[in-house]
Structure 1
Amino acid sequence: MITKAFIFDLNGTMIDDMQYHAEAWYHILNNDLNAGLSWDEVKAEMYGKNDELLVRIFGGDHFTKEKIKELSIEKERRYQKAYLPNLSLINGLREFLEKAKQQRIPMAIGSAAIPFNIDFVLDNLKIRHYFQAIVSADDVTISKPDPETFTKCSELLNVSAKDCIVFEDAPKGVEAAANAGMETVVLTTMHSQAEFKNFKNVIAFIKDYSAVGPGDFLRN
């Protein structure tokens, strides 16, 4: 086997929750901060770290670091409260993870989420034991599309970048994987296939994990 490890983005890739994130940001940006953004404008900013999003919208000098942290935590609290009753893995993923574990495929999570959110998912769904490494927003200097999130995962797994397959749902994440020299499987939970037409590192599009297994992405 050439492919030796799987790296999963979290939001939109393991759980179908991006609508809840967008709604939480929409209300904070517009109702609390008077940004005056449309739904599509908010959706377009849904990548990278929370502080990066705020800087993109308001500029680097608008908020103190303390205020950015406060806004970030408040956004995640609202997201978690709204999403918790519906928290579940994308269809077929638990079985996919179990099969990969049985096949001894190392797995990591590489996410722009803060640990507060990653822990919310892993501990409520009881899936932490499947992953040998977790890289969060707090572990990188620059988030996706910078490749650091995924290259750190490969380093922690002790697997070369070219031998990792990334599971992603967002164009910026696929770009980060390309920048890391990694192939990508795209989940079409939030974005259409057409939005990925310029990426050469996409090897498959799937709507969920119900019809695939780890062996489908292991190349001889």
Structure 2
Amino acid sequence: MGAAAATTTLVDAAVPPAQLDLLSIRGVLFDVDGTLVESDPLHFRAFQEILLELGFNDGQPIDEAFFRRRISGRHNPAIAADLFPDWEEARRVAFYTEKEERYRRLAAAGLEPLEGLREFLEWVRQRGLRTAAVTNAPRVNAEMMLAALGIEAMFEHLVLGEECTRAKPYPDPYLVAMDLLGLTPGEVVVFEDSPSGVTAGAAAGAPVVGLMTGQEPEELRKAGEEEGVGERRTTHD
């Protein structure tokens, strides 16, 4: 099943949408940043600060529209290559490593779950649905966020884009999660908040619920129809 066969539903909060065939759902796959936890404002601040210090954008601070369009939900190496195409790889790695350290310092002051998250996770648990968290965040960030919210035990697996052949927006992280759970695309639903993540879930052939927690609805809808990364790979390729 390719990207065109998957469905993308937009909702304001993490509730089971009426459009989904809940009788066929056996597993729920969650993004982390912006889907489980209100972390995007902290990522925005960390990127804004470090880019300003580097003189990016002619020394003008990036705004939230730039963050949503060029940064949110994307894998760090892709972000760095996009923003600094002339830099050597080592310099790019140093850039996003420093950014993530800044984010963790900001997050140490406290993270909040997305509104309604705990109730929805309890709904998932009561129905015996399988679960995995699937993220482009570095492992140290992902584990910190889940632990800070006290929900790490709610997920059977944590799948990281950086540990897959390809990160989101490619389908690999979601295909790995399905393989670990022993489920097919028709047996899971993906919850995402970024165009990159929505594209990845749709490219994996799964129905996607796009949470409108930061992105414009049209951007998420377009991402669900994206076929540019729709080449599916099994985890054994």
The correspondence of residues 53-68 of structure 1 with structure 2, limited to 5 A, is 53-59=79-85, 62-65=87-90, 67-68=91-92
| Residues 186 and 43 of structure 1: CA distance in aligned 2, closer, same or farther (over 3 Å) | closer
- 1:163 aligns to 2:187 (yes or no): yes
- Aligned residues: CA RMSD: 1.9
Once the two structures are superposed, residues 121-153 of structure 1 have per-residue CA deviations (whole angstroms, 9 ceiling, x without a partner) of 112222111111111132123222111111111
**TM-score scaled by structure 1?**
0.82
1:131 paired residue among 155, 166, 174: 155
For the residues of structure 1 that align with 2:75 and 2:151, how far apart are their CA atoms?
A: 23
Aligned to 2:103: 79
Give the C-alpha shift of residue 34 in structure 1: 2.2
Aligned to 2:38: 16
Give the C-alpha shift of residue 53 in structure 1: 0.6
SS at match of 1:91: coil
For the residues of structure 2 that align with 1:119 and 1:101, how far apart are their CA atoms?
A: 20
Aligned to 2:74: 48
SS at match of 1:145: coil
For the residues of structure 2 that align with 1:69 and 1:200, how far apart are their CA atoms?
A: 30
For the residues of structure 2 that align with 1:189 and 1:181, how far apart are their CA atoms?
A: 23
For the residues of structure 1 that align with 2:70 and 2:104, how far apart are their CA atoms?
A: 19
Contact preservation (8 Å) 1:115, 1:137: no
Structure 2: unaligned runs, 5 residues or longer: 1-22, 226-237
Give the C-alpha shift of residue 162 in structure 1: 2.1
Aligned to 1:100: 124
Deviating 4+ runs (over 4 angstroms): none
SS at match of 2:222: coil
| Residues 200 and 119 of structure 1: CA distance in aligned 2, closer, same or farther (over 3 Å) | closer
Contact preservation (8 Å) 1:170, 1:191: yes
Aligned to 1:179: 203
| Structure with more relative contact order (C-alpha pairs < 8 Å, separation 6 or more) | 2
**TM-score scaled by structure 2?**
0.77
Contact preservation (8 Å) 1:107, 1:133: yes
- 1:34 aligns to 2:55 (yes or no): yes
Give the C-alpha shift of residue 199 in structure 1: 5.6
Moved more, 20-29 or 41-50: 41-50
Contact preservation (8 Å) 1:7, 1:110: yes
For the residues of structure 1 that align with 2:213 and 2:67, how far apart are their CA atoms?
A: 17
